[in-house]
Amino acid sequence: MKADVVIIGGGPAGLYTALNVRNHDVLLVEEHKSIGYPKHCAGIVGEYVAKSVEELSKHIINASYRKIRFLTPMGGVELYFKKPIAYHVERPLLEETLASKVESLGHRVINGVRAKPSSLQCINIGGDCLKFDFLVVAEGANGVFRSFFSEPIKNYLVGLQVVAETRGIQDDTIIIIYDENNPEFFAWITPLDDRKAQLGYGSRKPMEHYLLKLVEKRTGLVVTQILERYGGIIPLNKPLKNPVICERIVFHGDSVPLTKPYTGGGLYYIFKLSPILARFLDNNDLVGYARAFKKEFLVKSIIEHTATSFFRRTRYYLPIPVLESMSRLCILEPRDFDSHYMLVLKLLGVIPVLPLSFLF
């Protein structure tokens, strides 16, 4: 058995890369029986990803938000934007749409098969050796390929989420809750319509009853019924400096991890880098991709990780009053939702003019 390009993982990272490969045949292997399940991601994206997703199908975006309300131990802050700052992506539909388009190109998608690493030339599928020219590892943060070819991602939080029927929700407002009992991350409420919302938080040991009590206490939101539960890993590890091994194997998505370290969101960098990765695969040039990766992602990520590490050691909600000041100065833009490294640079410019009472 042989394929030009083998992709491990049927999430957005693997599928969007496959969709953009045109000069090679692709075999994508997904361990779960259904593309898009089980659900993991909160599905909140900024303008760049929303536009890219709408090019695939206008039905994948099912909510948008003009307001973000931050609730911190220091008080509340609400930011309002004239146009939507964030959007909700229906993740299973996104992945199902991508898989359909990938197969329409003649690429192959295999579900319900667990691949195992074997060597730099082949992987093991059902006892058979599948040879490849290039291998894209897009299996997620805790996969066996990352552990086999590099080292496991050991530093992570667990994101717990529930979809619930609610009373008292504002359907255009995302709520972010910082709690001193969970200093490393935050909780979130993202409305899906005027009666239903997605509630979640990231922690070392998340508990549903704690999340529901926190939401009710801090917002007054009444949860009447839990409709769905799911979750996933939020990797905290710094990304690989070079995602390419021996010019044949490349890590992609959460296996890098390609995430915004402050929020854990991964779709932005996946949608930015997947077409670039596919172009270099088409040109048989993963060495060139390693250079592009450093230019398009690594330097920015180092800035973001440095800032996030500082906030984790001090107060995770420290940027919020600064964001409010940036909004008043009209230097906060919708694109900053994705470009966190630009936010860091703007923060450095605004902090010197803030009164000390904002920071301590």
Answer for the pair 97, 53: CB distance below 8 angstroms, yes or no: no
Q: pLDDT tens, 120-141?
A: 999 999 888 999 999 999 998 8
Residue 292: strand, helix, or coil: helix
What is the model's pTM? 0.93
Regarding beta strands 249-251 and 128-137, do their DSSP bridges make them parallel or antiparallel, or are they unpaired?
Answer: parallel
Please count the other Cβ atoms lying within 10 Å of the Cβ belonging to residue 39.
Answer: 18
Task: Name the CATH topology of 2-60+89-154+237-309.
Answer: FAD/NAD(P)-binding domain (3.50.50)
Residues 6+ apart with CB under 8 A from 51: none
E-strand stretches of the chain: 2-8, 26-30, 44-45, 61-65, 67-72, 75-80, 86-89, 108-111, 115-117, 122-125, 128-137, 156-167, 173-177, 187-191, 196-203, 222-235, 244-245, 249-251
d(CA 340, CA 336): 6
Q: Nearest Cα to 57, choosing from 14, 33, 92, 10?
A: 92
CB 332 within 8 A of CB 320: no
Ordered by start, the domain boundaries in the chain are: 2-60+89-154+237-309, 158-235, 314-359
CA-nearest of 93, 98, 112 to 34 is 112
The Cα–Cα gap between 94 and 206 comes to 27
In tens digits, the chain (360 residues) has pLDDT values of 789 999 999 999 999 999 999 999 999 999 999 998 888 888 999 999 999 999 999 999 999 999 999 999 989 999 999 999 999 999 999 999 999 999 999 999 999 999 999 999 999 998 889 999 999 999 988 899 999 999 999 999 999 999 999 988 888 999 999 999 999 999 999 999 989 999 999 999 989 999 999 999 999 999 999 999 999 999 999 999 999 999 999 999 999 999 999 999 999 999 999 999 999 999 999 999 999 999 999 999 999 999 999 999 999 998 898 888 888 888 888 888 888 888 888 777 654 444 444 433
In the chain the first and final C-alpha atoms are separated, in Å, by 62
Q: What is the 3-state secondary structure (H, E, C) of 141-187?
A: CCCHHHHHHCCCCCCEEEEEEEEEEEECCCCCEEEEECCCCCCCCCE
In words, the CATH class of domain 158-235 is alpha beta
Question: Please, are residues 261 and 301 in contact by the beta-carbon 8 Å criterion?
Answer: yes
pLDDT tens digits, one per residue of 303-344: 999 999 999 999 999 889 888 888 888 888 888 888 888 888
